[in-house]
């Protein structure tokens, strides 16, 4: 699979897996604070897994690659959510989405960039 296809496919999964988890578990837990916690943990774990899978084959430019996947996955996640809202599939309004859901997605580039920085640092220290 080429790099762009991998970024897009992983990005779709970074959106889909936490969405399914929060829909399934969110229907059992009515409290909004529990929903936000479940969403944040599901996003974080999913991003960590797919960041690792993507970056494990990279041999250089970890920070550049991690910024690329973080921003790409952020855009994919927000775009798919907005499509669901505009189609009426999601029961959220754009205002509620912007206030409660979209801020959770800052986790995506935070994790990918942090991992990229770590891998750059680790690579730089190998020769020491």
Average pLDDT, 10 consecutive residues per value, the chain (128 residues): 93 95 74 73 96 93 96 97 92 88 93 95 75
Q: Is residue 67 within 8 Å of residue 115, measured between CB atoms?
A: no
- Read off the tokens for 114: 């942090």
The pLDDT of residue 32 is 55
pTM of structure: 0.89
Query: What is the C-alpha separation between 9 and 54, in angstroms, rounded?
Result: 11
The pLDDT of residue 37 is 82
Structural domains of the chain, count: 1
Which domain does 50 fall in, by range? 3-125
């Amino acid at each position: 699979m080429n790099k762009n296809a991998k970024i897009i496919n992983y990005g779709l999964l970074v959106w889909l897996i936490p969405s399914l988890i929060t829909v399934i578990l969110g229907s059992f837990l009515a409290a909004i604070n529990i929903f936000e916690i479940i969403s944040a943990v599901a996003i974080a774990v999913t991003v960590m897994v797919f960041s690792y899978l993507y970056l494990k084959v990279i041999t250089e430019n970890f920070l550049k690659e991690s910024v690329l996947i973080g921003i790409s996955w952020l855009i994919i996640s927000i775009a798919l959510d907005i499509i669901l809202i505009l189609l009426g599939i999601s029961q959220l309004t754009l205002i509620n989405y912007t206030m409660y859901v979209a801020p959770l997605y800052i986790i995506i580039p935070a994790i990918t960039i942090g991992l990229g920085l770590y891998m750059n640092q680790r690579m730089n220290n190998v020769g020491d």
